[in-house]
Amino acid sequence: MPTRDYYEVLGVKRDASPDDLKKAYRALAMQYHPDRRPGDEEAARRFREITEAWQVLSDPEQRARYDSLGPLFRADGKPPTPEDLNAYVAGTFANLFGRKKREKGEDLKYTLSLQLEEVATGCVREVSLRRRTRCGACEGTGAEPKTGRKPCAPCKGSGRSPTRVLLRTDCPHCDGRGWVKIADCRSCDGRGALDLSELLKIRVPAGVANGQKLKIKGKGDEPKDGGAPGDLLVLLSVAEHPLFRRRGLDLLCEAPLLFTEAALGAELQVPTLTGVTTIRIPSGTPSGRIFKLSGRGLPEAGGKAVGDLQVKVVVEVPPALEPEARAALSRLSGVFTARQHPARQQWDEALAARRSPGDRP
C-alpha cells in the first residue's frame, strides 16, 4: 500500500498529463538520485518513493486502478487485504490522502505581562490579537460567491469519484465538493481566511503564578472548513516587583531602619500591595527582625487562604557622617557602653578569660 499519495509525491495535480508526470519525475529523480547524494538516507528514501509513484502513474492501466482505489491500491494487483481495509477505515491513511476530516484550528499563543498588584486582586486585561478567521463571504472556500464556481464536470457535481471504486471516495477533480473554483473570492483573495485584529478581554484570576498558562477556549485560529477554532493559550509573566518578593502566598520586603529608631522604637511606614501602612517598632529591635502583617500577602488561586506580608527590618549604619552628626555621636559614645549591649558584653568577657597575663591587652 502506498504511504503517501503518488500525485503528492510527484508534486503534480490529479489530472496531470503523461508529459507533466514525466517532467516532474525527471526533475525529482535528478534531485534525489543516490549517485548525486551518496550516503544521504533521506534522499534515498525519497528516491524510492518517487520511483514507485512514477512506476504506477506512468502506466495508464495502473494509474486508472490507483485513481479508483487510492490508498487501497496494491502494485501487485491483488485486492486489498482485510488489514488494508481496517487501516483505511480507521483513518490511518485517510489524512495522507486528503480525505477531509474537520480539523480543529491552530492554537494561538500570547504572553501577558502582569504586575504583582494585578496578581493580588485578579484583573481583566484587554488585548488586541491577530486571529485567522474563516472568510464569511465565501464560507472558507476561496471562491467568489455565486460567480466563482462551476459544477465539476467529471463527477457531474456529485462530489463522488466518477470511476468505479471499492469504497466510495471523493471525486479527485473537486476533492468531493462537486464544484471547481473559477474566480477567487474578492474578500479574501481566494485564501478562504482573513487575518483580523480582535480586541479580547482576558480575565486573570487572583493569585496566579509566574509562568502559569490560561486557556481561552475557541479564541485560536478558525479553520477554513468550518471546524472548531483552536484555543488561545495565554502565558502569564509576572514582572519583578521593586519592593516585594514572593514566597508562596507570602510577600517579603526589607525595610531599612535607622539605629536610633531601632534603639528607641518608632512608627515605621511600610508598603503594602494596596498602599502604605504603619507598623510599631518597639525599642530595642534588633536588625533582621521580621514583622508579620497577617492577611497582607497574596490570595490563594482558586482558594480562600491569604498569605502574610513579612517586613524584615535591617539597621542601616550611615556610610558617611556630616560633622554635626559625627560630633553628636562622639559625645554619645561615652554613654553607649558595652553594658547596654549584651552580646558585646559577653564577647568582651570571653576574650578577657582567654587573655594570659603575658598578652598585651
Binding residues vs Zn ion (CB under 5 A): 135, 137-138, 152, 155, 171, 173-174, 185, 187-188
- 41-57 vs 60-69: helix axis angle to the nearest 10? 100
Return the number of the residue (44 or 137) whose C-beta is nearest Zn ion: 137
Q: How many Å apart are CA 62 and CA 172, to the nearest integer?
A: 16
> C-beta of 226: minimal distance to Zn ion in Å?
13
- What's the min distance (Å) between Cβ of 64 and Zn ion? 17
SS3 125: strand
Q: What backbone phi and psi angles, to 5 degrees, belong to 24?
A: -65, -45
Q: What is the Cα–Cα distance from 102 to 229, expressed in whole angstroms?
A: 11
Minimal distance in Å, beta carbon 236 to Zn ion?
36
Rounded Cα distance, 249 and 299, in Å: 7
Q: How far is the CB of 187 from Zn ion (least distance, A)?
A: 4
| Shorter beta-carbon distance to Zn ion: residue 14 or 46 | 14
**From the CB of 163, what's the least distance to Zn ion, in Å?**
11
Q: Closest separation between CB of residue 152 and Zn ion, Å?
A: 3
Nearer to Zn ion, 147 or 333 (CB): 147
Burial class, 175, CB count within 10 angstroms (exposed 0-12 / middle 13-18 / buried 19+): middle
Smallest distance, Zn ion to C-beta of residue 67, A: 12
Give the chain's radius of gyration (CA, Å): 39
| Cβ atoms of residues 202 and 231 within 8 Å | no
> What is the closest distance, in whole angstroms, from the C-beta atom of residue 27 to Zn ion in the complex?
29
Smallest distance from Zn ion to CB 177, Å: 7
307 CB burial (10 A radius; 0-12, 13-18, 19+): buried
Pick the closer one to Zn ion by CB: 140 or 271. Answer: 140
Give 51 or 163: the residue with its C-beta nearer to Zn ion: 163
Cβ nearer to Zn ion, comparing 135 with 202: 135
Answer for the pair 265, 143: CB distance below 8 angstroms, yes or no: no
Q: Which is nearer to Zn ion, 194 or 233 (CB)?
A: 194
Q: How far is the CB of 149 from Zn ion (least distance, A)?
A: 12
Nearest residue (CB) to Zn ion, 185 versus 234: 185
Q: Are the CB atoms for 265 and 140 separated by under 8 Å?
A: no
Q: Cα(139)–Cα(77) distance, rounded to whole angstroms?
A: 41
For residue 233, give the 3-state DSSP assignment.
strand
Residue of 32, 37, 79, 36 lying closest to 54 (CA atoms):
32
Residue 240 CA, distance from chain mean position:
21
Instruction: Say how far apart CA 172 and CA 154 lie, in whole Å.
Output: 9
Place of cell 553607649: 336
Say which amino acid occupies 137. Answer: A
CB of 157 or CB of 265, closer to Zn ion: 157
Q: Which is nearer to Zn ion, 149 or 246 (CB)?
A: 149
DSSP state of 166: S
